[in-house]
Chains A and B, each alone.
Chain A
Amino acid sequence: MDKQRDVIEQSVLSAYPRAMSQLLARGARLVDAEDALAFAREQALLQWDSSAIPELPAAWLYRVAMNNWIDSLRKASRLNGDLDMELIETDSLFQELPEERLRLMFLCVQPVVPRDMRVPLILQVGFGLSADRIASLFLDSPLAMRKRLTRVKSALQQNQVSLELPSESVLSQQLSEVLDALYGLYAIGWEDDIGAESGLWEHSAEALHLSRVVAAGFESAEAMGLCALIGFMESRRAARRSADGVYIPLDEQDIGLWKLDLIEESEIWLRRASELNTVGRYQLEAAIQSAHVIGRFRNEVDWTILDHLYEQLYRLNSSLGVYVAAVAVKRKLLGAEVAMEMLDRLSDQQRSTFLAAVAVRAHCQRDLGDLDGARKTFARALALSSDRGLREYFKTLMN
């Protein structure tokens, strides 16, 4: 019974974005579209049979939701007579973007949506995830997440962005926002073990798919860079966790589990990006991935190239995360003492509570023969991890 429900839930979920964007394209307000789709979803769960799911689930959902929406408009007397579809048919650029979900992404990265709410909004509007589940992913309280999502949606409503279509120049300005959102969407299913448990890898797969659509549709080096970056990461998915979920670092992964076709595709995107002669964050990160991958294949990592790439990346993005990743490369290139000196330049709090910095310090201590110190520092790294697989990994390093 539950299994049957799962099958139905799954096909409702995958049809959801298409139905949602159709409703929006017919002029429904975001909140109304959500209500109508919630109704359609309930109906699907009542009426569908897992062995006989409608041939076009999205069309079914759309039809039921559309009727529900029109009913509610009539009840609210906002509508007299027949709805003239042609009149509220929206036009131009949104329609031309090939993917419904991509249209939704452009909607969700409007300036009125705060940056930290964009991926949560995409997960709710584009994928139909509940606010409670989104809250668990973003370490927030469900109540707070519900409120923030509601606030964001009403801000979108007031600005009427669901109907206003951006001009081409606005669209390309928004491209970098869409790229960030796509990366955020991918990272949700990548960063932690929650992904493995709750099927979020599907969202990652979708992010990869959408990044291909964007890379193919816009002549943008960063879009291609992002596509390459996601492709490289995705190619290692099967190798990055052991059967019982323990984290496996890149240099210990079984490269037989890597997806070579994805790696090749990523190399091609990266090459095409470099032909456009502009450097950006995603290109550099993809180039870093590429250098690591090639290093594993050749059994010899070129740390000089990696060092150079990280220096460039740090110039574009002077974040703590990039700094520490660059330090990890320095450790390989120049040794643990140099790396330790660089870590010492961080503030006390960063050095002792930023997980990546703590992990690099532990490795340095081990390199320098301070095994007792390393054990204590790995214990600290464990204490700073909220990911079960990573905790297990640090446990093994403590022994």
Chain B
Amino acid sequence: MKYAVLVYETPSDFSERVDALKSETYWAGYSAYGAALAEGGVGAGGTALMPPGDQTVTIRHTDGKRVIQDGPYSDTKEQLGGLFLIDVGSLHEAIEWAAKCPGAFTGAVEIRPVLEM
């Protein structure tokens, strides 16, 4: 079964990414995690996202009218920072992997089953 591990990061996570002192540790954590998923035979893709910023817009059509707003869809402290796709045997196994994601220690991770088409 495929699951998406959605990584919600805090503002300080996002700033660590580009911090001169902390960025190396930050990225080393994620690259080791990604490599562990791959070698564990469960990694099935994924991507990191830029933090919400001036290239982030939200679009919707309401009452026949198109509305484009600056900023992310949800105005919460933690924001989607990226996602991993994993292919595992059960939800339990997905939770075991997600519990090791660096983001689970600083922000939060959400697991969602992938809709197979």
Contact = CB atoms under 8 A, between A and B. Distances in A.
Nearest to A378: B32
Given A139-B96, A139-B99, A382 B32 contact: yes
Q: What does DSSP make chain A's interface, helix, strand, loop or mixed?
A: helix
A349 interface: yes
Contacts of A141: 91-92, 95
A133 to B, nearest CB: 15
A353 B95 contact: no
Instruction: Give the interface size bracket for B toward A.
Output: 10 to 19
Interface residues of A, number: 18
B50 to A, nearest CB: 23
A353 B40 CA distance: 6
Nearest to B33: A383
Contacts of B91: 140-141, 144
Interface string B81-110: 000000000011001100110001100000
Interface stretch (A104-112, A223-231, A326-334, A384-392): A384-392
B28 A388 contact: no
A205 B80 CA distance: 41
Q: What does DSSP make chain B's interface, helix, strand, loop or mixed?
A: helix
A352 B96 CA distance: 16
Nearest to B36: A383
Contacts of A386: 96, 99-100, 104
Contacts of A379: 28-29, 32
Interface string A133-166: 0000001110010000000000000000000000
A197 to B, nearest CB: 13
Given A379-B28, A383-B35, A391-B105, A352 B99 contact: no
Contacts of A349: 39-41
User: Among the interface residues A140, A141, A386, A395, which one has the most CB atoms of the partner chain B within 10 A?
Assistant: A386
Interface of B: 25, 28-29, 32-33, 35-36, 39-41, 91-92, 95-96, 99-100, 104-105
Given A144-B92, A380-B36, A391-B105, 6 more contacts: A140-B91, A141-B95, A352-B40, A353-B40, A382-B29, A386-B96
